[in-house]
Structure 1
Amino acid sequence: MKLFIAALGTETNTFSPLPTGRQNFDETLYHRHDGGAQSEHYFAQPLRIWREMALAHGDEVVESLCAFAQPGGRTRQSVWETLRDSVLADLRHAGEVQYVLLKLHGAMAADACDDCELELVLAVRDLVGPEVTIGVELDLHCHLSPRLAAAANLIVLYKEYPHTDVNERAVELFTYGRLAAMGEIRPLMALRDCRMLGVWRTSDAPVRELVDWMTAAERRDNVLSLGFCHGFPWADVPNVGAQALVLVDGDPSLADALVDELAGRILALRERYQPALLTIDEAMALLPTLAGLSVVADIADNAGGGAASDATWLLRGMLAAGTPGALFGAVWDPVAVRICMEAGEGARLPLRLGGKVGPQSGQPLDLAVTVLRVVENATVTFGAGRQPMGDAALLDVDGLHIVINSIRTQVFHPDAYTQFGIRLADYRAVVVKSAQHFYAGFAPVADRVIYVAAPGTVSPDFTSLALPRAGRPLWPQVSDPFSAGVAP
């Protein structure tokens, strides 16, 4: 059999001031035909897995585009069309294929396209016809629609947040996709709209229980996969919001019953789960009273959610409170990085830092800094791969250490800091610009994790999000989103 594979995505925050252009893809992830072999980026790894598994079965593999952009605002329409058309051109050139596996994000929007994944999968279906199996792996922060479920044969979602199971889900999708292509299973999907906005950390007990129940349910006869689509709230697009997805083998009544059960458990999280968040003032008052290492998440300035990662709100609060022995980062400021690299290690100089992109970033800070260390082409671990940070510098401001970098990314792992030759154990507090992906790497070395809701592009105040394109009421913007009488 012949397998066609491709990876294309970004996560679009329609409230972000940062347009997503071609340069973002080029500096984050862009390969044509060999991304699975050439890249360590987590988004490329399913391509490597699919190729290796297909070759082990004696199948032929045609690999197309492998591209991902750091989350930001809408992708420029011309950039989206070029990327889309590259995949479709490769598919045409591949000739007859028996199955197609796509690694997509699920929350990508362009200037004139609210649902890039749907547009791509529909185009792929038009090319390959109704008999070819199409499987799609999506981030759980995706937007699902009945049209997408109808166009694809299989959709598999990550289960974990932080996303520690990307490769496991890739193996799962290949296994079921190939069986479907051989006619050994008949995959059917069922989808339910839960009409909820939220962030659900799978490290927290009520959400962990749900994920464990989903995994156990997959051991039932004819059940292939369950997915809790968390959705990506910061997107004014149709289908924004949480959904339940079930994939079974050939039994529509089983699919309907199981997806209703899953949706009920997701809906119950409205009462059972409320993430604990502190204000800046609350965090500044609490930190001096705590022993050991506190890891603090600046969740609203998370580059992984489309923020600039140059917001100064929390950093300003730390400077005002006086927090020596703390480490803060990473602040995306290519101009400041360039200045510090020119000055060199050991230099002391005035530096204007952060607050450059727009009002959501706050005001820039004018600081007297000492350049402690410079690292060229810095990287950070995420999953089994590495992500670029660009050139980076470690600064000292009266005992407070700050990491700045030139390629926008969130802090996924402690090596974002330890590559500067420092130890986390030497600090009382480490602040990370990340919402949850840091957790897998930092929680094992921290005495506690604290989440702070400062102002920013990825604000957790979902009641204030303007989502006119959502097309239906959503909790918590309304207390009962089903009361309008529209069936779920």
Structure 2
Amino acid sequence: MRIFIATFGTETNTFSPLMTGRAAFMGERDWYRSGATHHPTTMANLPLKTWRDLAEANGHEVVESICSFAQPAGLTLRGVYEELRGYIMEDLKAAGPVDVVLLSMHGAMVAVGYDDCEGDVLAHARAITGPDTVIGTVLDLHCHLTPLMMQNADLIITYKEYPHDDIQPRSVELYRLASEAAAGTISPIMAEHDCRMLSIWRTPNQPVRAFVDRMQALESHDGILSVSFIHGFPWADVPHVGAKLLVIADGDAKKAQDLADQLGKEVWEMREANSSHYLTPDEGIDAILASTDARPLVLADVSDNAGGGAASDNTVILRRLIDRAIRDVAIGCFWDPQVVTFCRDAGVGETLTLRLGGKCGPTSGDPVDLTGTVRAVTDNLLQIGLGGGRSSLGPAVWLDVNGIAIVVVSGRQQTFSPEAFTNLGIELSKMRGVIVKSAQHFYNRFAGLASDVLFISAPGCVQPDMETLKLPRSGRVLWPQADKP
């Protein structure tokens, strides 16, 4: 069997002030024209490495194309998208007849002139391979499921967990089903149910945990091959935004549709029980002060999350910490390469007056003028990222401002793991509070050291209040903007 593999994606926040250009895809972060499987593991090449290992163990031939995954931000430039799509199609044509195409994409990539990049990639691939090649894709669960995707893929599988610690198992799932489909032992048929909802579903928490567990228990029984709960990515004003259920059955369209409808209705029924509670910045600080636990309280600044396309330079929470003279708190990661440069040039131990953050647009807020001492610098701050691979934050510094430990980085990236602090020498066990710029992917690695984990809604372009999102292009009513299924 001949198997073609590639990775190409990003998550597009249409409210973000940051365009996604060539450097975002073809800079130092996760860019390989080919051969990504021979490099250290990241979330971008993990599916490719998984597919190559499985295929070679089964005696199949692998043709590997690009690996490119840009940090979430705003619209991708049209020429950049078309160039990268062109590399994949060029390689697919050169490969000649293939039995299987496996693509790792995000599912919420939007480029100038393209509302549905993943559907467009799949359509171009199908035009090259013809109808007999099995085409499958693994997507982030924060994707937009579109008719163009459904028309051109035989198999669509999304991550089931948020945080996404199941990238490899889902890649294995896609490989297995695609191999069986190519061998003719199964006939996958996909069906979807539109939940018409906008929300955030945190899979470690009930009632979502029980739903995901039951959803997985339905697979591999009674002709059900795969079930995906698509959470959707609410911060994109595009058609087809919103939550959906996707079921793949073996040769039975009615069975697939019936189960998708049933599970979709269950998601609707748990809408109120799933609702998250968000604190204001001052309520979050009050919670730190009120805590009597020896372990730090962990707070998430969800609105300025780089993983959702934000600039990660909003300073509203930091300003309140300074104004209220809070000590023994760590906060990060702020994206401000200029401040990093100043601190690295000055060196450890120097005290500087700096202007931090607030640089990228209205959702960045105002910069903060502060005086702090450089406690540590590094040429490359590493943390554990999605899939367990390394995630680079680039040159970075620890800036101490009257007992507030601030992590400032050159590489815009959300905070995934404690190493974003500890690799600079910050001892989190001595902190009363730790504030991370992230929405959920930090959770699994921080929960064990925290007295509790709480969420803050502050200014930023990843606002968690779904009722206030302006999505005129969605083309339909979406809860909670109107209380109807």
TM range (shorter): over 0.9
1:330 to 2:333 alignment: yes
Paired amino acid for 2:10: T
Structure-1 separation of matches of 2:117 and 2:149? 11
Which residue of structure 2 lines up, in the alignment, with residue 477 of structure 1?
A: 481
1:95 to 2:99 alignment: no
Contiguous gaps of at least 5 residues in structure 2: none
Deviation at 1:220, TM superposition (A): 1.9
Equivalences for 1:309-388 in 2 at 5 Å? 309-382=312-385, 383-388=387-392
Deviation at 1:454, TM superposition (A): 0.6
Q: Is the 8 A contact 1:241 1:474 kept in 2?
A: yes
1:454 to 2:455 alignment: no
Structure-1 separation of matches of 2:224 and 2:326? 52
Structure-2 separation of matches of 1:323 and 1:214? 45
Deviation at 1:219, TM superposition (A): 4.0
Q: TM-score, length-normalised on structure 2? A: 0.98
Q: Is the 8 A contact 2:116 2:146 kept in 1?
A: no
**Secondary structure at the residue paired with 2:28?**
helix
Q: TM-score, length-normalised on structure 1? A: 0.97
Structure-1 separation of matches of 2:434 and 2:283? 16
Give per-residue Cα distances to partners, 1:33-54, cap 9 Å, x unaligned: 1112224221210000000100
1:159 to 2:160 alignment: yes
Give per-residue Cα distances to partners, 1:435-469, cap 9 Å, x unaligned: 00000110011110010001111011212211111
Which residue of structure 1 lines up, in the alignment, with residue 401 of structure 2?
A: 397
Which residue of structure 1 lines up, in the alignment, with residue 285 of structure 2?
A: 284
**Secondary structure at the residue paired with 2:435?**
strand
Structure-2 separation of matches of 1:302 and 1:262? 30
**Secondary structure at the residue paired with 1:479?**
coil
Structure-1 separation of matches of 2:230 and 2:458? 26
Deviation at 1:422, TM superposition (A): 2.6
Which residue of structure 2 lines up, in the alignment, with residue 302 of structure 1?
A: 305
Structure-1 separation of matches of 2:480 and 2:225? 32
Q: Is the 8 A contact 2:348 2:377 kept in 1?
A: yes
Which residue of structure 2 lines up, in the alignment, with residue 47 of structure 1?
A: 48
Contiguous gaps of at least 5 residues in structure 1: 483-488
Paired amino acid for 2:2: K
Structure-1 separation of matches of 2:426 and 2:271? 41
Which residue of structure 2 lines up, in the alignment, with residue 414 of structure 1?
A: 418
**Secondary structure at the residue paired with 1:377?**
coil
Which residue of structure 1 lines up, in the alignment, with residue 178 of structure 2?
A: 177
Q: Is the 8 A contact 2:394 2:411 kept in 1?
A: yes
**Secondary structure at the residue paired with 1:27?**
coil
Which residue of structure 2 lines up, in the alignment, with residue 486 of structure 1?
A: none
Which residue of structure 2 lines up, in the alignment, with residue 485 of structure 1?
A: none
Q: Is the 8 A contact 2:381 2:424 kept in 1?
A: no
Equivalences for 1:161-310 in 2 at 5 Å? 161-291=162-292, 292-310=295-313
What is the RMSD computed on CA atoms of the aligned residues?
Answer: 1.0
Q: Is the 8 A contact 1:36 1:66 kept in 2?
A: no
Deviation at 1:204, TM superposition (A): 1.2
Runs of 4+ in 1 over 2 A off after TM superposition: none
1:11 to 2:11 alignment: yes
Paired amino acid for 2:344: M
Paired amino acid for 1:298: D
Among 416, 436, 446, the alignment partner of 1:432 is: 436
1:140 to 2:141 alignment: yes
Structure-1 separation of matches of 2:286 and 2:129? 60
Structure-1 separation of matches of 2:253 and 2:367? 57
Deviation at 1:229, TM superposition (A): 0.4
| Matched pairs, number | 481
Q: Is the 8 A contact 2:405 2:426 kept in 1?
A: no
**Secondary structure at the residue paired with 1:100?**
strand
Structure-1 separation of matches of 2:250 and 2:466? 37
